[in-house]
Amino acid sequence: MNDLKMFDTFSKIQEVNLNHLGKIKFRLMNAIEKWNETSECILSEDDIESLLKQSKIADNIITNEYAQWAQLKQIEVKERTTRPQLSKQTELENARLSSSSSA
């Protein structure tokens, strides 16, 4: 997968999860405001627990996707740096073989 496509995919996943986190934060902030104004809780304990779990899941997905993307980038960089060394080694072996066959 090329860099741009991989980054684009990661960005879209991150955007969806950040959007989800934003909605969770919005619901919680509305509940807090309502509580401050009227001392009325508009979310049940189950709702609050569910929202907190959802936010943790979304955050974990963002973190995991980033880690996966970074790991793929690290492998790609490692491959790029080892390929030239392999070709130089092959050139040296070829040069040695050609000099020994002509001797």
Reported as a single tens digit per residue, the pLDDT across 5-58 is 666 666 776 777 777 777 877 888 888 888 888 887 777 888 878 877 877 777
Residue for token digits 């509940």?
A: 31
Which contacts (CB < 8 Å, 24+ apart) does range 28-37 have? none
Across the range 51-68, mean pLDDT stands at: 75
- Mean pLDDT estimate for the chain: 72
Q: What is the CA radius of gyration of the chain?
A: 27
The pLDDT of residue 30 is 83
Q: Computed from CA positions of residues 11, 17, 20, 25, in that sequence, does the dihedral angle turn out positive or negative?
A: negative
Helix, strand, coil fractions of the chain, as percent rounded to 5: 90, 0, 10
> Are 35 and 41 within 8 A, CB to CB?
yes
Output DSSP code: residue 43. Answer: S
